A = this chain, B = another copy of it.
Amino acid sequence: MKYSFNTWAYSDFPCWVPSYPFEETVRRIAKIGYDGLELGCAQPQAWPYYLGREERMQMRRILKEHQLAVSSMLPAPGGGPGGNIASSCEKERCWTVQYWKDCIDLGLEIGDCQTLLCVCGWYSYGTRQKDAWSWAREGITQVAEYAADSGVTLMLEPTACDSNLVESCEDAISMMEEIGMDNVKLMFDTTHALYRNEVPSDYIYQMGKNLKHIHMADYDRKAPGTAGCDFVAIMQALKDVGYEGYVTMENGFPTRACHPDSVARQSLENLKAIEASLK
């Protein structure tokens, strides 16, 4: 299996520190032994609007030098501009659609990345869920049409921990089916399944061939295998369904007390050991 590590733990999102520049982040993740990096599109690594042609070519060189692929691009939701694709504010929805497109372009330019991850938004008090659902569906469709030209696939993620729109495995499947495009598929994050007191491996069997990406995190965003969740069942399920995507860690980031390198190393060691023991 291929392994990737998400940059949030090294970035300003959602904690401002610890924080590492792009090159330092790439160097560390590569050295720990990952095949890929999942790039959170936020400072200080990858806010698209601070990155000109020259900076992007430099990023490409750095990735190549360290032989690290870009497994996936992840727009940053929340914070000042919102980035809520399901917002009742039309300007916010437009901005979000454009931002996601710009994240796609950035991923292509620095690492030929074919994968964009999608948090499907949330609704404020007073907005009807069905309206937010429609806005999300429309916005995602627009981005998917743009993405199709470059062969990029969007991965819909249920995010029950933080949002109230696409919360469950079934919600994500329904959104995918309603959009009905070949380049709109599914991912899930173990954290959100655990938050719902659901069984992460069940998500894998239910999503089956439509599961193209995954986020691995133990309880409290700890490294897999260090906080009580059973990753043997999860890794076995990935093998059972013939999963071909990256095994990506999105760990450690919601606290300043995170030691990114340690989390990255422990995550990789623990999951590789499980992989080696699977039947």
Contact = CB atoms under 8 A, between A and B. Distances in A.
Given A259-B201, A262-B230, A14 B206 contact: no
B14 A14 contact: yes
What is the predominant secondary structure among interface residues of chain A facing chain B? loop
A17 B82 contact: no
Contacts of A265: 230, 232-233
B16 A163 contact: yes
A125 B208 CA distance: 13
A270 interface: no
A76 B81 CA distance: 9
Contacts of A261: 199, 201, 233
Interface stretch (A41-49, A60-68, A109-117): A41-49
Contacts of A122: 16-17, 19
A209 interface: no
Nearest to A260: B199
Nearest to A237: B261
Interface residues of A, number: 73
Nearest to A223: B230
A78 B81 contact: no
Interface stretch (A86-94, A138-146, A181-189): A86-94
A259 B79 contact: no
Given A13-B80, A82-B47, A230-B262, A21 B199 contact: no
A15 interface: yes
By Cβ-Cβ distance, the 4 closest A-B pairs, closest first, are A79-B79, A43-B82, A230-B262, A129-B170
Contacts of A130: 174
15 contacts: A14-B78, A15-B78, A16-B122, A18-B198, A47-B81, A47-B82, A47-B92, A50-B91, A125-B202, A128-B170, A129-B171, A164-B170, A197-B255, A230-B265, A230-B266
Interface of A: 12-21, 24, 41-44, 47, 49-50, 75-84, 87-89, 91-92, 95, 99, 122-126, 128-130, 161-164, 167-168, 170-171, 174, 194, 196-202, 206, 230, 232-233, 255-257, 259-262, 265-266
Given A14-B14, A262-B233, A44 B124 contact: yes
A2 B171 CA distance: 39
A21 B82 contact: no
A190 to B, nearest CB: 11
